[in-house]
Structure 1
């Protein structure tokens, strides 16, 4: 489930949802012609007072230049859809040196994930580089968190995905969130 909480965007995933998210993330990174839509508004947080804004998630390459303002009309025409498979290589994400991970903080770096909200949907938009720079925490949710929680059942297992450009340690004022917090839980409540 994905919702807009008081601290920003919060996504809660179980084992199956973590795998789906990691595969969708890999597809978004590798397919500049795909719009990946994950309908997530059907669940509500466990400790909810029904005040959170529930959201769907769309991952897309910036090259599509999709106007998010048109999303409501596009989603209305989607219909029930049909399942189909996508084959990703065994190494869906390129291994990156630590220097690549650190360079996103440099002033001239432009490959950041951008975000927007339209029609109760969170859009994450970026280049292959932007998705790959944030891929390791998403991959770790699917691959590492189940084992970590088996060893330490009360542990907090999450990924914090940087959204937008940070200026001097603070997010862009026009986009107040600095990250998407994805929490791994054993079972959705």
Structure 2
């Protein structure tokens, strides 16, 4: 589930969804000619009442900036999409991953082009970025899949396992922060 709170975005995922989205994030990194569409708007929400008035659910599209896709064309493209079909893809082997492999200092230079940009059109959030920024941030989803199910709160103000893509990471160009939280209980 992806929720637009106007100033920030919240994503709530169970273990399977976090693993799948991490894989699709990695696909966006390794396949710059692909437009990855995740229809999430119709999904049921967390049972904890995390949605509120004034919020809306969104679909998600991941794409490499070199595609230069115009989000204003999305409604037309989405209308032509069929039901889709399952595909299996082989992603390149993982190179160095994790915090140690990321050059955090380089992210804060003016010349840094490895940034996410967001566009919102037709109830869909477009995350546009470079292969490097998709590759470096896929780990957030894998962390939620790996650590969310067994998480034991150590403090009442942190009731669930979560991570964020935020401006301090040096990865958000004209993009809003995204809170990625693990949730194992959903409305029926």
TM-score interval (norm. to shorter): 0.7 to 0.9
Q: Distance in 2 between matches of 1:141 and 1:41?
A: 21
The TM-score with structure 1 as length reference comes to: 0.82
Among 139, 145, 148, the residue aligned to 1:136? 139
Q: Distance in 1 between matches of 2:130 and 2:28?
A: 9
Q: Distance in 1 between matches of 2:163 and 2:110?
A: 24
The residue number in structure 2 matching 1:100 is: 103
The residue number in structure 1 matching 2:41 is: 41
Q: What's the C-alpha RMSD, in Å, of the aligned pairs?
A: 2.7
Q: Distance in 2 between matches of 1:184 and 1:24?
A: 17
| 1:134 aligned counterpart, secondary structure | helix
Among 47, 51, 54, the residue aligned to 1:51? 54
The structure with the greater share of residues assigned to strand is 1
The residue number in structure 1 matching 2:177 is: 179
Question: Cα–Cα, structure 1 residues 68 and 8, in superposed 2: closer, same or farther, change >3 Å?
Answer: same
Q: CA deviation at 1:141?
A: 1.4
Is there any run of 5+ residues in structure 2 with no aligned partner, and where? none
Question: Cα–Cα, structure 1 residues 99 and 18, in superposed 2: closer, same or farther, change >3 Å?
Answer: closer
CA contact (8 A) 2:148 2:160 kept: no
Q: CA deviation at 1:3?
A: 1.4
Q: CA deviation at 1:164?
A: 10
Is there any run of 5+ residues in structure 1 with no aligned partner, and where? none
Q: CA deviation at 1:50?
A: 5.1
1:20 aligns with 2:20: yes
Q: CA deviation at 1:152?
A: 4.4
Q: Distance in 2 between matches of 1:16 and 1:66?
A: 29
| 2:149 aligned counterpart, secondary structure | helix
Aligned length, in residue pairs: 179
The TM-score with structure 2 as length reference comes to: 0.82
1:129-152 deviation digits (Å, cap 9, x = unpaired): 1212323222211223223x2x44
State the structure with bigger RCO (CA 8 A, min sep 6), 1 or 2: 2
